[in-house]
Structure 1
């Protein structure tokens, strides 16, 4: 079990606070393991073993605890009588109306509660109704490039970061893929299983979708268009060209369900002149690059889009709100915003001509403010500064602590 301090430290800051700590994210991204890390941290506070209750509700061991009534009765019977009880409830969405149980325990008992979940029920209206103001949500992501480097060192000789970046982009960041050495084909078999279980358990079965082929075609369209703006109308037009009729509302509904299962991330456009979020022509990014390759197969032509995807996820991990920037008729790959900071970023695999250089840097030079601006690339370049714009190798940016 390799420590993931970025999440443990963030969550432990709220230990013993009167909030339910909710860990969400795509299946197999490491939520259950992080929960075990939190238990280890709690034990360091001289907490007794019988003060800690840990349940994994996707296990057959707790098959009979599927209702709020059964869960409440069981937990009430096992609460520690001499002080605070620490409750760790893994894959809690398997229990119907679990929000009511957690709310009741928070109200009537001395408890500190941590839960994980992998689908939209974690952010449902019931959750907002019963736990308003009483929970903090933490999004867990597959391994970052930095975490990938640490994982890899456990079982193989790690090459320099610039070389390793190509392996990371191709194999992705699901922890299960990096517990030993796998070929790309073996890795994609693991990721395809994660994809299938998410699609058919968290989307098809839970939402009683009958036209599964429609959903899968929309998935493939989204996966094939990572980093490109598109609308429901463009998806409908594409499907119509394949003699598949589907209305815009259904497309949006499917895309929303893919977001709810944490497979897709929606990235809105931000008008840098009008200072407003635009509601059309959004981009979608994947929870992990290996999802694309496990579904569509590997193609060298897709690497540039996946590099962009990797940067997008890293900015989210670091707590930024991320948008596609619109400036007149040009586009800035990412505008990353925190209350105290803002970054402008262009991502490119390589700059092979003066025209490409002028295009990539010129877009950033047109932004008239003093926030940091970056061009991130994977080819060789001379110098690290271009008229105030910082140039970095993507691997160095991902490992940097400066932003």
Structure 2
């Protein structure tokens, strides 16, 4: 039997196995992915954020809507049995499927799900061809931001709509816990929500770790981190000095919610004996962001040159991952709160900046919409200390005046109040309330 025939037989058995396997649909996600006929639906995000489970939820809805299980073709592209699939033999997938169901070709819609498609080189042309020549709807998942529409538009000629998936939001975590979060909260319900927030604070949003004890959670988080670094960075980009990448990643996690510059990072790696030039460090930072594990936030400034020249801030995909992976010497709960606020905002708004007032005071987050500043958010664990209170409100008040905004928000671990400042109001809200008040999506 030729290797092509062998591969066809393997793909056939994978398709049939999936059709016989009960679907693990997990907790329904609040992500509203809309499909558009003629375009591939792409779901991207960090590994283990629940993309595959979400696809199973989509499949479940199709089955409930009357689609036959035989009309569903699902392939996990990380399956070792199909590691020989390359650009030139991807057509074997459809060959295998239609050899099982020849009567469906060009007569029935086939729903094709390709999980972690970026594992297969040259996938874009295959998907483009599939959508042009076969009667099918295509769903893809991947853990690379390069799969955002603008990146793949050239290869797929605009035949894709991309959506980002993050680990559980606090609202989704409440769904997982079976706690109702809609509408007005009674005293009892508020107590349950606050208790659940403490659990969310400990475990973070990765679905798999939600029910685990501390030791298993830390072990699982560390496993995620290493897999992301090696599969999504070292292997994907064929990095010749993997130790430089892992040392940099650990430094960044240790310095979550802190400022950095490429020069300082290059100097740090040099001090460890790594010969990584500035250009390599810039690449690494881009790759971390591409894998949805570490994110860079720039200063808010109309000038792109100044945005790039100023120090940048680093955040991680999940505040609890930081706790599990960092050495613990530099990260404090104030940094973790700021990181929690970052991920909540970033999952809704792709563009986030920090703001510096004319007198040099800093506000953690500014959310622009259509280029205009709309929301100012400061994260501060507690305002109990009078100096802290003065510093945080002065920075926010100044920024509000400069940007002509009448409201600003300070997110704390607990406490709720309104502070009047010149020309506006600062809302101080506990983190759990802030997370529930955010929109579910920005549609």
Q: TM-score under structure 2 normalisation?
A: 0.80
Query: Contact 1:87–1:113 (CA<8 Å) still a contact in 2?
Result: yes
CA distance in 1, matches of 2:226, 2:49: 15
Query: Contact 2:148–2:162 (CA<8 Å) still a contact in 1?
Result: no
Query: Contact 1:270–1:277 (CA<8 Å) still a contact in 2?
Result: no
Tell me which residue corresponds to 1:256.
Answer: 286
Q: TM-score under structure 1 normalisation?
A: 0.88
Q: Is 1:35–2:55 an aligned residue pair?
A: yes
Query: Contact 2:300–2:353 (CA<8 Å) still a contact in 1?
Result: yes
Query: Contact 1:264–1:284 (CA<8 Å) still a contact in 2?
Result: yes
Superposed CA deviations along residues 122-170 of structure 1, whole A, max 9, x for unmatched, are 359983432132111111111112222222349xxx9643344343233
Tell me which residue corresponds to 1:112.
Answer: 137
Query: Contact 2:295–2:314 (CA<8 Å) still a contact in 1?
Result: yes
Q: Is 1:6–2:41 an aligned residue pair?
A: no
Aligned residue for 2:111, secondary structure, equals strand
Task: Output aligned runs, 1:188-207, within 5 Å.
Answer: 188-207=218-237
Aligned residue for 1:210, secondary structure, equals coil
Q: Tell me which of 148, 159, 162 is aligned to 2:194.
A: 162
Tell me which residue corresponds to 1:292.
Answer: 322
Query: Contact 1:24–1:137 (CA<8 Å) still a contact in 2?
Result: yes
- Residue 174 of structure 1 deviates from its aligned partner by 1.0
Q: Tell me which of 404, 412, 434 is aligned to 1:377.
A: 412
Unpaired stretches in structure 1, ≥5 consecutive residues: none
Task: Return the index of the structure with the highest Cα Rg.
Answer: 2
Tell me which residue corresponds to 1:74.
Answer: 93
CA distance in 1, matches of 2:241, 2:149: 24
Q: Tell me which of 213, 216, 221 is aligned to 2:246.
A: 216
Tell me which residue corresponds to 1:305.
Answer: 335
Query: Contact 1:57–1:94 (CA<8 Å) still a contact in 2?
Result: yes
Tell me which residue corresponds to 1:316.
Answer: 346
- Residue 401 of structure 1 deviates from its aligned partner by 4.5
CA 1:249–1:320 in structure 2 vs 1: closer, same or farther (change >3 Å)? closer
Aligned residue for 1:6, secondary structure, equals coil
CA 1:125–1:278 in structure 2 vs 1: closer, same or farther (change >3 Å)? closer
Count of aligned pairs: 392
Superposed CA deviations along residues 41-80 of structure 1, whole A, max 9, x for unmatched, are 22333323332211112224x5266123433232155353
The 10-residue stretch of structure 1 (26-35 or 323-332) with the greater mean CA deviation from structure 2: 323-332
**C-alpha RMSD of matched pairs (Å):** 2.8
CA distance in 2, matches of 1:401, 1:289: 18
Query: Contact 1:93–1:121 (CA<8 Å) still a contact in 2?
Result: no
Q: Tell me which of 423, 428, 438 is aligned to 1:391.
A: 428
Tell me which residue corresponds to 2:77.
Answer: 57
Tell me which residue corresponds to 1:330.
Answer: 361
CA 1:25–1:371 in structure 2 vs 1: closer, same or farther (change >3 Å)? farther
Query: Contact 1:232–1:251 (CA<8 Å) still a contact in 2?
Result: yes
Aligned residue for 1:334, secondary structure, equals strand
- Residue 377 of structure 1 deviates from its aligned partner by 0.6
CA distance in 2, matches of 1:325, 1:236: 25
CA distance in 2, matches of 1:337, 1:262: 21
The 10-residue stretch of structure 1 (314-323 or 182-191) with the greater mean CA deviation from structure 2: 314-323
Superposed CA deviations along residues 357-391 of structure 1, whole A, max 9, x for unmatched, are 2221222222232364111111335x345341111
CA 1:58–1:64 in structure 2 vs 1: closer, same or farther (change >3 Å)? closer
- Residue 310 of structure 1 deviates from its aligned partner by 1.1
CA distance in 2, matches of 1:92, 1:322: 28
CA 1:125–1:205 in structure 2 vs 1: closer, same or farther (change >3 Å)? farther
Q: Is 1:400–2:430 an aligned residue pair?
A: no
Aligned residue for 1:284, secondary structure, equals strand
